[in-house]
Amino acid sequence: MALLTVIRHAQASFGAANYDKLSPLGHRQSVALGRALKEQGAVWPKRVFIGEQVRHRETFDGVAEGFGATAEPLVHPGLNEFDFKALLEAHEKSEAIPEKTTGDRAAHFRQLKATVLAWQADEIDNPPETFAAFVARVQDAMDAAKREGDVWMFSSGGAISQMIRLALGAPADQQILLQLQMKNCAVTRFVMGRGGTYLHGFNETPHVDATTADEMLTYS
């Protein structure tokens, strides 16, 4: 049996021209998570994977700094987030989009939920990636962890929630419902064995406590 630990990226730059980089708070979150994992008695694994997004690398760097680890991660494209910006634009062209976001976080996530559900139902013409292709590459990333030994991965909410859905055998529409609950720097764990892959922990935030939650607990 091996433990797969998957870490969602820290707070990115929501509303900025380039979302794909950590905010100053995001950098602090990632370092704090590394320290918390070390304090919990975690052992830095021999294999660590990241996706190709900048926010994945920056989160890895911060966690490694806080943990006191020096290592170079492996890059796996299966850990990449789906291109939500291009997907939202494709959905908007279908004239089925429920509303414009105009920078409103709540409106953005209502729109994202509607778009993902339409994507899963193949109701969006010419999406940047088919839902089936997304599922396949996420499964490929999970398969990469199935060798001996514990593995850590750094990814995004959509890919991680898809991992959970696959492990649970849940319907496709559960992916976005899980994704919208996921906190920045959240830790999700899977037990991987010969009999299958099992969810062992979801949305854990060991770097957050009652004294730091007002600042450190974020979702985007």
User: Per-residue pLDDT for 137 more than 90?
Assistant: yes
Let me know whether 37 and 88 are in one domain: no
**Residue 18 banded pLDDT, cuts 50, 70, 90:** confident
Q: Could you please report the per-residue DSSP string of 94-152?
A: TT------TT-HHHHHHHHHHHHHHHHTT-SSS-SS-HHHHHHHHHHHHHHT-SSS-EE
Let me know whether 6 and 75 are in one domain: yes
For range 137-164, the mean pLDDT: 96
Exposed/middle/buried for 211, CB within 10 Å: 0-12, 13-18, 19+?
exposed
Let me know whether 96 and 78 are in one domain: no
For 111, the domain range is: 83-128
- Range name among 18-27, 48-57, 177-186, 197-206 with the lowest pLDDT average: 18-27
User: Per-residue pLDDT for 96 more than 80?
Assistant: no
Quick check: pTM over 0.85? Answer: yes
Domain count, the chain: 2
User: Per-residue pLDDT for 9 more than 90?
Assistant: yes
pLDDT tens digits, 41-61: 999 999 999 999 999 999 999
134 occurs within a structural domain = no
Let me know whether 43 and 68 are in one domain: yes
119 occurs within a structural domain = yes
Let me know whether 64 and 158 are in one domain: yes
